[in-house]
Amino acid sequence: MNTVMKTVMRTANKVGVGVYRVSGGKVGGKGSGGVPVLLLTVPGRKTGKPHTTPVGYFEHEGGYLVVGSAGGMPQDPQWFRNLRAAGRAEVQRGRATEAVTVRELTGDERDAAWRDVVLVRCPPFGKYELKTSRTMPLALLTPTRG
């Protein structure tokens, strides 16, 4: 991705995050295919500086299942790489925020969640996986209690 595109993407992300926060998720709270969107804040794996990005999610097993699709790009998105490294994050849904732990799903568990949750609730995700040779990573974000 060239420098101009990176700048455009970062600017669009900042605007999207700001609008979501100001509106309490009323604007920006639904993604393509009607998938709900949360704001994910995770420390950078190199700097530790918190980064926030809107991410589509699926409610699953008492938590939030997120997909590192990057629209079928060849590499996992930066936010997912940071999430994987941190093992913890904060999510905002609407106006509510909560701390979460992160568990990346692998093997049969990942495949079952992809098939039974992601593709059932939002079939267009299947097109992303066809665009790349990588396996779309999935993570379950589980709210920490107490």
pLDDT at 126: 80
Q: Residues 38, 57: contact at Cβ < 8 Å?
A: yes
Q: Residues 117, 60: contact at Cβ < 8 Å?
A: yes
Task: Tally the domains of the chain.
Answer: 1
How far is the C-alpha of 110 from the C-alpha of 83, rounded, in Å?
Answer: 16
Domain that holds residue 45: 3-143
Task: Name 53's bridge partners.
Answer: 40
pLDDT at 82: 96
Give, in order, the Cα–Cα distances in Å from 132 to each of 21, 57, 66.
32, 21, 18
Per-residue confidence in pLDDT tens, the chain, 146 aa: 678 877 888 888 788 888 888 998 888 888 777 889 999 999 999 999 999 999 999 999 999 999 988 777 778 899 999 999 999 999 999 999 999 999 999 999 999 999 998 888 888 878 888 787 888 899 999 999 75
Q: What's 77's domain CATH number?
A: 2.30.110.10
